[in-house]
Amino acid sequence: MDDYISVQTAAKKWKVTPRWVNDYCNNGRIPGAKRWEGKKDWLIPKNTKKPVDARTKIAKAKSGEAKPFLKWAGGKGQLLTEIGKYYPFAEKKHIKKYAEPFVGGGAVLFDILNKHTIDEVYISDINAELINTYTTIRDNSDELISRLKAMESDYLAKDADLRKETYLAARARFNALKRDSVRNTETAALMIFLNRTCFNGLYRVNKAGDYNVPMGAYKNPQICNENNLLNVSKKLQNANIVCGDYKDSANFIDDKTFVYFDPPYRPLTKTSNFTSYTEHLFDDNKQLELASFVQNLDNKGALIVISNSDPKNADENDNFFDNAYSKQNIHRVAANRMINRNSDARGKINELLIANF
Ligand SMILES: C[S@@+](CC[C@H](N)C(=O)[O-])C[C@H]1O[C@@H](n2cnc3c(N)ncnc32)[C@H](O)[C@@H]1O
């Protein structure tokens, strides 16, 4: 018996809770672990090192803060300081509502919810699987977390070949559910699992609407960030979460509302046409429709910020947005992205922040 230690001793040694140690044992992550004779407690070989997994990071997450739970194309993490200069809640006390009709990964949403108390929140996106993930986190976080924990333990314990099999099976299952429009906790868990393990956290569908991103090459991807999911769930408790077109937000938005619009970017060059986040295209006509929608909300008295790509990065005579938003204030801010990874025109480029105040 001297060669073994108890769950409590291992927990102290590895600086985790006994529940985690039990999870490791139950999931076969501790070679040589065995049950006390006749009891359900585990015994752990004395010199076992703590299994490497991404959950260590979870314990260190800043308490109470919610962060985007998915990587998302066009995520605004790097522009938060610039966009944050427009948050009106501290100075304009009558602004008590927030709307983000193209929510995506929600970088601005969570930044605002971490900093301000908002009376009413409205978020929407046309991507039904994404919105199902938001509503599942809000309404059913416990079941989601246990599914993700099981998927994480299973995946991390496997070698490269078995991981690939698991990834492809998860993708096939996700697509089967998607085709039948089944949007439940399982779909949400698969959405997070695929986002964490796929190539570059991409969400891309083919013409048939099937998610078709290949597996990524992460060594220890964090699939279940329990702390963050719980924080996100708390922050979303009173949010209106809508699957649909951005125009559905019209009734919510009034003179007490701050609105941030982050539509799919207008492509800078003909080759950089990654705008199909979903099966829906967002072409120049759609961009112009959005500009006139914004004008109507401006007339209602809402405070509005819109972001987009700056066409002048590629063609300084292209005044598309200057014309479309001629009544608004157009600001150009330096962004940390490349004009086109395959061209010679590398370096920092500008993005547009358009505001009506
Ligand atoms: C640039 S992304 C938003 C990124 C987000 N700001 C972030 O930080 O992750 C644009 C989003 O708009 C959604 N979308 C596209 N067309 C839409 C529409 N007509 N109405 C609502 N959402 C739409 C896409 O699914 C995508 O999630």
State pLDDT tens for residues 108-128. 999 999 999 999 999 999 999
**Cα separation of 98 and 238, whole Å?**
12
Say yes or no to pLDDT of 343 above 70. Answer: no
110 lines ligand 1 (CB under 6 A): no
Q: Measured between alpha carbons, how far is 243 from 114 in angstroms, rounded to an integer?
A: 23
Domain ranges of the chain: 4-51, 52-357
- Which amino acid residue places its CA nearest to atom 19 of ligand 1? 245
Expressed in angstroms and rounded, the spacing between residue 74 Cα and the centre of ligand 1 is 8
Query: Residue whose CA is closest, atom 5 of ligand 1?
Result: 104
Using the mean position of ligand 1's atoms as its centre, give its distance from the Cα of residue 279 in Å.
Answer: 12
pTM for the predicted model, two decimal places: 0.81
Q: Across the chain, which distance is largest between two alpha carbons, in Å?
A: 80
pLDDT in tens, 87-104: 999 999 999 999 999 999
Pocket test for ligand 1, best of 78, 79, 126 (most atoms within 8 A of CB): 126
Residue 213's nearest CA partner among 180, 190, 186 is 190
Q: How far apart are CA 244 and CA 323, in angstroms?
A: 28
Q: 219 C-alpha vs ligand 1 centroid, how far in Å? A: 29
Ligand 1 contact, 75 CB (< 6 A)? yes
pLDDT digits (tens, 9 = 90+) for 271-308: 554 544 444 678 999 999 999 999 999 999 999 999 99
Query: Closest ligand 1 atom to the C-alpha of 101?
Result: 21
Angstrom CA distances, 199 to 9, 174, 195, 265, 300, stand at 39, 16, 8, 21, 43
Q: Tens digits of per-residue pLDDT, 149-193?
A: 999 999 999 999 999 999 999 999 999 999 999 999 999 999 999
For 355, the 3-state DSSP assignment is: strand
User: What atom of ligand 1 comes closest to residue 263's alpha carbon?
Assistant: 10
- The CA 72 to ligand 1 mean position distance, Å, reads 9
If you measure from the C-alpha of residue 262 to the centroid of ligand 1, how many angstroms do you get, rounded to a whole number?
6
251 class by beta-carbon count within 10 Å (0-12 exposed, 13-18 middle, 19+ buried): exposed
Q: In this structure, what are the phi and psi dihedrals at residue 19, rounded to the nearest 5 degrees?
A: -60, -40
Query: 320 in ligand 1 pocket by Cβ < 6 Å?
Result: no
Rounded to the nearest 5°, which phi and psi values hold at 286?
Answer: -65, -40
**Beta carbon of 67 within 6 Å of any ligand 1 atom:** no
pLDDT at 341: 47
| Alpha-carbon distances of 133 from 76, 126, 227, rounded to whole Å | 19, 13, 16
For residue 212, with 0-12 CB atoms within 10 Å meaning exposed, 13-18 middle and 19 or more buried, which class applies?
middle
Would the pLDDT of 9 be above 70? yes
In CATH, the number for domain 52-357 is: 3.40.50.150
Q: Are 6 and 43 in contact (CB under 8 A)?
A: yes
> What are the residue ranges of helices labelled H in 202-319?
226-235, 284-300
CA of 349 to the centre of ligand 1 (A): 21
C-alpha span between 24 and 7 (Å, rounded)? 10
How does pLDDT run across 208-233, given as a tens digit for each residue? 899 999 999 888 999 999 999 999 99
Measured distance CA(56)–CA(59) in Å, rounded: 6
Nearest-CA residue for ligand 1 atom 4 is 104
Does any ligand 1 atom lie closer than 6 A to the CB of residue 76? Answer: yes
Q: How far is the CA of 127 from the centre of ligand 1 (A)?
A: 8
